[in-house]
Chains A and B, each alone.
Chain A
Amino acid sequence: MKHRITLRIGPATFRMGSAWPGPIRSLERLYADYPAPADGIADFTVRLEPVSLLRRWLRPSIFITGDHGLADAAPMSLAHGLLAAEMGMNLQMALGWRRHLLLHASSVEKDGRVLVMTGESGSGKSTLAAQLGERGWRLMGDEFALLDLETGTVLPFPRLVSLKNRAIDVIVAEVPAARMGPLLAGTAKGDIRHLAPRADAVARMDEGAPPALLLFPRFGHAPAIRPVGQGETFMRLTQASTNYVALGEPGFAALTRFVTQVPALAMDFPSGEEAIAMVERLWEQQR
């Protein structure tokens, strides 16, 4: 394809091709600090193609596909090209990654141990991870936590953090503009802006750590914390994993170990500041 870039994010390498220069330029800027892939062979190919010949030029419209794709994926406006590229990478991971158990969760690390946060879109897990990442924690990822099948270690997958709607202003206030992507207004999920992780988090993207705590955050409620039983945790994590079924027995073993070894708490919170204070308190109690 005419415009291309190869990116390595943690253990996965992506070869991205685009019919337009815009999405690739955005990626080049925001992924500038990421180390180059070792030998140029990518785990996945992502293609950003015009929906039809006409849509290359006239009201350009992107069809996201690649090694793995969804035939009925909704086309996206070229103005949202960076989001399309990120979704293309997510799609490959979600449908094709087999080397770790994939949890749809954000993760941050401190003192050599990992806090994993999972929940639906809108639960606040991305924003919370991004905020913690600016306050002494190492951001490991906002979308996927990779659970090693042999050791149970959580590995980072620190791609750009996708901030939505109200979360954008919260983060913009504390992060230099150079690490922020363009404002993508009016996407299917509202306004989106991407955040590049701090350079030190990127530099340590091959460094995993054992999980110490699992949180199910829920934004927009009075502060409350309740323990979540192992059975419920297990079921919720099978639903939060895109490759649990495909991995078969090793996936079951890895998830069982995670659930039996890592305490799980549901955490309701009314605001970001409150959430950070609650997380810091819980983290002290876990030591």
Chain B
Amino acid sequence: MNARLLVRALRDPGTVAQFGAGQWNALIAMARAERLIGTLALRIGDRPVPDAARPILADARLDAEREARQALWEADRAEAALKPLGVRVVLLKGTAYAAAGLKAGEGRFIGDLDILVPRDCMEAVEKHLMLAGWEWVKSDSYDDAYYRQWMHELPPMIHQERDRMIDVHHTILPLTARQRPDAGAMIADAISITDGLHILSPEDRVCHAVAHLLADGDLAGGLRNLWDVHCLLAEADPAALEARAARHGLSPHVRQARRMADALYGAGRERLTLWDRIVLARLLARNGWGKETRKGLRFAFYLRSHWLRMPPTMLARHLFTKWRKGHRPA
């Protein structure tokens, strides 16, 4: 069994009416593991479900409401902390979707607060966040130096009282990645949603979600990220998106994400390439107990995630340093 069961239920929630107990158990375990249980619960809505499934879905809806409430409060706190600077603060990912009431935000699990600010303001932003109670999570000097030199964000910070993390980005991909998205243009074209907070334009939202899914990382949690892309695509203008993707150097990624979103969550009309199918197999690698499957394939994508981020000699040095510190891939 793979996660197609979950994908089908998200695409067409009416199909759960025919599910037996075994399928329900698998669906719930997979949805929790992929952090899509809140989204699933909202998709199923008031449709008839077995008595034992109803409270599980109701709990998931309540958890999602709390997630959104907490995320918006964190955004509000960050805005207050950064107000004196007068810089443009752009909310990214889950918090942005929740703040703007987008479909991608409905029921979505929201972990950290992600914000995008102009690169030349990073130092001032860091200082103001620390004044407002955020502090460093990582104490390891290699990790800290690594973030500052090569990453697209500051090392993660956590708020000392509220225990919530903030990721401060100055662009959307690591500086070592092959693509160089135009972060300045993203910030310049961001849309104001409150007094001090912005979100990306509809097309940039797609570009960011796609970059996050396909040009960075090992595709863990990819079903959720692809669901984001699927929802965000509906709000983007196709011609404007093509132009924007070209500007960010992400055209092939955006096209591939569109094909895959169509294959899993849409009508399934687009032709898939062999590479699309391999990525889809990775996304669906989970069984009815919620456990990841296809260890070899997952490990290959883990290696690829590093390959994408770094030139080979730098990668070798990085992996050796991490290995000496005792890090082993899951």
Contacts and interface: CB of A to CB of B under 8 A. Distances in A.
Interface of A: 1, 13, 15, 17, 37-43, 45, 47, 49, 66-68, 96, 98-99, 246, 248
8 contacts: A13-B52, A40-B52, A42-B25, A42-B52, A45-B32, A67-B33, A68-B32, A98-B59
Given A15-B25, A98-B63, A39 B290 contact: no
B300 interface: no
A238 to B, nearest CB: 15
Given A49-B291, A99-B59, A248-B66, A41 B24 contact: yes
Given A67-B33, A98-B62, 18 more contacts: A13-B52, A37-B52, A38-B52, A41-B24, A41-B25, A41-B52, A42-B25, A42-B28, A43-B52, A43-B55, A45-B25, A45-B29, A45-B289, A47-B290, A47-B291, A67-B32, A246-B66, A248-B69
A41 B290 contact: no
A38 B51 contact: yes
Interface residues of B, number: 22
A40 B55 contact: no
Given A98-B63, A246-B63, A17 B55 contact: no
A141 B21 CA distance: 28
Contacts of A47: 289-291
Chain A facing B: main interface SS: loop
Most A Cβ at <10 Å: residue of B33, B50, B53, B289: B289
Contact of A39 (B21, B56, B66, B69): B21
Interface in B208-259: none
B5 to A, nearest CB: 14
A279 B320 CA distance: 61
In the complex, the 9 A-B pairs of residues with the closest C-beta atoms, listed nearest first? A40-B21, A41-B52, A98-B59, A45-B29, A67-B32, A41-B24, A41-B21, A39-B52, A17-B289
Nearest to A65: B291
A67 B290 contact: yes
Contacts of A41: 21, 24-25, 28, 50, 52-53, 56
Contacts of A99: 55, 59
Contact of A40 (B22, B33, B69): B22
A38 B134 CA distance: 48
A243 to B, nearest CB: 11
Interface in B260-297: 289-291
A96 B55 CA distance: 12
Nearest to A250: B62
A37 B22 CA distance: 13
Contacts of B69: 248
A254 to B, nearest CB: 14
A38 B24 CA distance: 14
Nearest to B22: A40
A1 B59 CA distance: 26
Given A45-B290, A47-B289, A246-B66, A39 B51 contact: yes
Nearest to A98: B59
Nearest to A15: B25
Interface in B83-136: none
Contact of A67 (B21, B29, B51, B53): B29
B206 to A, nearest CB: 31
Contacts of A37: 52
B13 to A, nearest CB: 17
A42 B50 CA distance: 11
B163 to A, nearest CB: 10
A40 B26 CA distance: 12
A39 B50 contact: yes
A67 B60 CA distance: 13
Contacts of B53: 41
A67 B37 CA distance: 11
Contacts of A13: 52
Interface string B7-36: 000000000000001101100110011000
Contacts of B50: 39, 41
Contacts of B33: 67
A15 B50 CA distance: 17
A43 B56 contact: yes
Contacts of B63: 98, 246
B145 to A, nearest CB: 25
A182 to B, nearest CB: 26
A246 B67 CA distance: 9
A180 B63 CA distance: 38
Contacts of A42: 25, 28, 52
Nearest to B26: A45
Nearest to B27: A41
A43 B59 CA distance: 10
Contacts of B32: 45, 67-68
B52 A1 contact: no
A39 B20 CA distance: 9
Contacts of B24: 41
A37 B56 CA distance: 15
A47 B293 CA distance: 14
A98 B58 CA distance: 10
Given A67-B29, A98-B62, A248-B66, A1 B55 contact: no
Nearest to A41: B52
A5 to B, nearest CB: 13
A38 B52 CA distance: 8
Interface in B39-77: 50-53, 55-56, 59, 62-63, 66, 69
Contacts of A68: 32
